[in-house]
Amino acid sequence: MSHSVTYTKDGDIGIIAVNNPPVNALSHHVRQGLLESFTEANNDDTIATVLICGGRTFIAGADITEFGKPLRPPDFLETMGIIESLSKPAVAAIHGTALGGGLETALCCHYRVAVPSARVGLPEVTLGLLPGGGGTQRLPRLIGPEAALAAIISGTPMKADQAHAVGVIDQIVAEANLLEGAKAFARQLVAEGAKLNKVRDLNDKVTGVDLAIFDAARKQANKTRRGFEAPQRCIDCVEAACTLPFDEGLAKEQALFRQVLTSNQSASQLHIFFAERAAAKVNDMPKDTETLGIKKVGIIGAGTMGGGIAMNFVNAGMPVTILETSQEFLDKGLTVVRGNYERSAKRGRFTAEQVEQRMGLVTSTLDYAGLGDVDLIVEAVFENMDVKKEVFAKLDTVTKPECILATNTSTLDVDEIASVTKRPDKVIGTHFFSPANVMRLLEIVRGAKTSFETLATTQAVAKAIQKVGVVVGVCDGFVGNRMLHQYGAQAQYLLEEGCLPQDVDGAVYELGFAMGPMAMGDLAGLDVGWRIRQGKDLPASLPEGARYNAIADRVCELGRYGQKTGAGYYRYEQGDRTPHPDPAIEELIINYSKEKGIERRTISREEIVERLMCALINEGAKILEAGIAQRASDIDVIYVYGYGFPAYLGGPMFYADTVGLKKVYERVCFLAEQDPASWQPAPLLKKLAEEGRTFH
Ligand SMILES: NC(=O)c1ccc[n+]([C@@H]2O[C@H](COP(=O)([O-])OP(=O)(O)OC[C@H]3O[C@@H](n4cnc5c(N)ncnc54)[C@H](O)[C@@H]3O)[C@@H](O)[C@H]2O)c1
């Protein structure tokens, strides 16, 4: 008998209780215990059975540690079959979350009750999977195919009241009284002679369905989840629920489940799932490191980043004070913040009153004295070392000694900034990504003197504002932008060798990125990089023989800074962000190649992708070797959450492992032979390739 599932009789009701901490995952011993307990319940004199879980949640899902291993019996469907065929009413009593296999188990019970705080859902799609325990066949039968499609394709859990409204939950019971409520509900069912509501037999909602809804769903998923296999297979399954008898639909679900389970996409998405959790660990940080309480935040600079950063804290309920150099800039920054909130309110995300509540948490000031009571500062002034140093020196004198001073610099040396303060242990980098209120990634830059307390507190802050924080070391561009620099350089060289912007972008888009490097440049503003290059006196300051491509400079010289000027690598129609190829740019690029004496050639999509991916991977390996990233999977998290790398490829380093490091290394060596000025194979890549190993 399994110890994680017990069966007891409470008068005339049988109680099956699951206790498999921490989240009552559906491990093999739980499946075994359920099978045995429901068999026992079937054979005794009780009038109904309640399935309930101990601890903080109902069965929260499958046991993901069992993924990829041979399945230990009993299999899921066998257990489900026993539950559903119980000869008396089975009531699932839900608290916490009933997700994936948890909800599928509950759907095999004849009825479901839940406490108001419970949530239910089928989130398998977020791991590149589909619900493989009958969920795609039972949910449409219970709530109709359209509601089921919405739930299964998004993977978003429903709150109890929502689940009650659509019919997943039959009754909401008092929060503190789940067991009693479930028993009373079961007795009432028996007293009323209610039938055994076997979901597999409910055919009304899946009969006579207009199959056009599935084509529409496929098209929609192709737009919102472009390139992802699992949403498409989920749709196939729900369609099967409407066109096939239950058992045949279930067989189809099983076949498609096996297909997605063994796909590279689910392996990649599962990798990202675990990578995100691993990223929270700082290898050398003592377990008992204390964190400081952060209640009030100061933001320096109300520009593009400062405003967005402030919104993160406000959204988490933390008051912020924003400091600027002039009232005009303050007003301008706050108008943008208000505008963002009002747009969200218009879309129904929150009420006009909530806009005011949020704006009420923002104080603005021109005076450093206004920052005396904040616990954390995030500086987002111009990217200039002298300006940053001046700001930090001032902050050091006006803020509380325990206040953490964070910089949002994207390239500057955090240690040099820290050197002007008397508290370098409290200085850290918080590198947000634009738009800062939307992008999930936060690179947490650990300086040479940053204390564990500061680091742990910043990680906690990242969590509180719902960012995925990844700790990185100090270097030019940290992890993300340092790799992007190599990627961008290759994209430029491809232009002079034979590509047009749309060729490069098209190849990357097809791979699964939201946009290619040229369209990204147009979106971010080409003038930013141009000014940096001018500041570094490029190309004059480059060493002899170094490769330099001036196409981006030439584009900027025409006043084409990207979307903001209506033209960059592409041209844009007024008020529209769609990039249109532009003959003027084609001419500029072709002339540039001619001027450099380069004979343009046709470059295949494969070569474009290979060059760009090798650039990311080779630099990623150097970053890893230098200890700037703690682990390869951190780099993957950075690229998926901050740079639009397709999650179904698992990030650049995981993608490299999938391709095979031997092959990647050979290609990097080949590229280095062709163009030694821009390629130096990473020693770590060489070592791993030669040893037949992987990054992970
Ligand atoms: N824009 C991006 O995509 C992005 C992404 C990540 C990081 N960053 C970094 O964020 C920082 C800010 O970038 P941004 O794009 O928001 O720039 P921005 O020019 O839009 O805003 C900077 C703001 O800082 C104010 N400012 C300048 N000096 C100041 C001072 N001494 N005291 C107070 N305010 C001052 C300016 O008035 C301006 O409003 C930079 O370090 C940048 O590298 C930018």
| 533-592 pLDDT tens trace | 888 888 889 988 889 999 999 999 999 999 989 999 999 999 899 999 999 999 999 999
pLDDT at 120: 98
C-alpha to C-alpha distance for 446 and 443, rounded to whole angstroms: 9
Tell whether omega for the bond before 74 is within 30 degrees of 0, i.e. cis.
Answer: yes
Tell whether omega for the bond before 435 is within 30 degrees of 0, i.e. cis.
Answer: yes
Residue of the CA atom closest to atom 7 of ligand 1:
410
Ligand 1 pocket: which of 331, 377, 381 to mutate (most atoms within 8 A of CB): 381
Q: Ligand 1 centroid to 429 CA: how many Å?
A: 14
Query: What are the residue numbers of the active site?
Result: 104, 124
Tell me the HSE value of 432 on the side-chain side, using a 13 A CA sphere.
29
Instruction: Express as a percent the part of the chain with pLDDT over 90.
Output: 92
C-alpha to C-alpha distance for 230 and 491, rounded to whole angstroms: 31
Beta carbon of 391 within 6 Å of any ligand 1 atom: yes
Beta carbon of 324 within 6 Å of any ligand 1 atom: yes
Beta carbon of 365 within 6 Å of any ligand 1 atom: no
Residue of the CA atom closest to atom 2 of ligand 1:
434
Ligand 1 pocket: which of 329, 379, 410, 643 to mutate (most atoms within 8 A of CB): 410
**Biggest CA-to-CA distance, the chain:** 92
Q: Ligand 1 centroid to 377 CA: how many Å?
A: 14
| Residue type for position 129 | L
Burial 381-409 (b: 16+ CB within 10 A, else e): bebeeeebbebbebbbebbeeebbbbbbb
Q: Ligand 1 centroid to 409 CA: how many Å?
A: 9
Tell me the pLDDT of the chain averaged across its residues. Answer: 96
Spell out the alpha helix ranges (H) of 43-127: 76-84, 101-108
Q: How far is CA 25 from CA 16, 54, 55, 271, in A?
A: 15, 12, 12, 19
pLDDT at 3: 85
Per DSSP bridges, beta strands 297-300 and 119-121 are: unpaired
Q: What is the pLDDT of residues 290-343, one digit of tens each?
A: 999 999 999 999 998 999 999 999 999 999 999 999 999 999 999 999 999 999
C-alpha to C-alpha distance for 511 and 646, rounded to whole angstroms: 8
Beta carbon of 329 within 6 Å of any ligand 1 atom: yes
Task: Report, as an integer, the average pLDDT of 278-282.
Answer: 96
Beta carbon of 481 within 6 Å of any ligand 1 atom: no
Beta carbon of 410 within 6 Å of any ligand 1 atom: yes
Q: Which atom of ligand 1 is nearest to the CA of 306?
A: 16
| Residue type for position 408 | N
Q: Ligand 1 centroid to 467 CA: how many Å?
A: 20
Ligand 1 pocket: which of 325, 334, 382, 388 to mutate (most atoms within 8 A of CB): 382
Beta carbon of 486 within 6 Å of any ligand 1 atom: no
Q: Which atom of ligand 1 is nearest to the CA of 409?
A: 41
C-alpha to C-alpha distance for 353 and 584, rounded to whole angstroms: 49
Q: Is the pLDDT of residue 2 over 90?
A: no
Q: What is the pLDDT of residues 526-545, one digit of tens each?
A: 998 898 888 888 888 998 88
Beta carbon of 593 within 6 Å of any ligand 1 atom: no
Residue of the CA atom closest to atom 11 of ligand 1:
380
Q: Which atom of ligand 1 is nearest to the CA of 391?
A: 31
pLDDT at 64: 79
C-alpha to C-alpha distance for 602 and 612, rounded to whole angstroms: 16
Q: Ligand 1 centroid to 151 CA: how many Å?
A: 40
Beta carbon of 368 within 6 Å of any ligand 1 atom: no
Classify 468 as helix, strand or coil.
strand
Beta carbon of 305 within 6 Å of any ligand 1 atom: yes
Q: What is the pLDDT of residues 347-376, one digit of tens each?
A: 988 899 999 999 999 999 999 999 999 999
Beta carbon of 300 within 6 Å of any ligand 1 atom: yes
Q: Ligand 1 centroid to 419 CA: how many Å?
A: 21
Edge to edge, the sheet with strand 97-99 lists 97-99, 119-121, 158-159
> Taking phi first (over 0 means left), then psi (-120 to 50 degrees means alpha), and beta for anything else, what does residue 446 get?
beta
Q: Ligand 1 centroid to 281 CA: how many Å?
A: 30
Beta carbon of 510 within 6 Å of any ligand 1 atom: no
pLDDT at 260: 96
Residue of the CA atom closest to atom 39 of ligand 1:
303
Q: Ligand 1 centroid to 182 CA: how many Å?
A: 57
Q: What is the pLDDT of residues 438-492, one digit of tens each?
A: 999 999 999 999 999 999 999 999 999 999 999 999 999 999 999 999 999 999 9
Beta carbon of 323 within 6 Å of any ligand 1 atom: yes
| Residue type for position 216 | A
Ligand 1 pocket: which of 299, 304, 337 to mutate (most atoms within 8 A of CB): 304
Question: 308 near 434, Cβ under 8 Å?
Answer: yes
pLDDT at 364: 95
Q: Ligand 1 centroid to 370 CA: how many Å?
A: 20
Classify 530 as helix, strand or coil.
helix
C-alpha to C-alpha distance for 263 and 129, rounded to whole angstroms: 9
**Banded model confidence at residue 67, pLDDT cuts 50, 70, 90:** confident
Beta carbon of 130 within 6 Å of any ligand 1 atom: no
Q: How far is CA 365 from CA 226, 277, 322, 407, in A?
A: 44, 38, 6, 19
Q: Ligand 1 centroid to 301 CA: how many Å?
A: 6
Beta carbon of 381 within 6 Å of any ligand 1 atom: yes
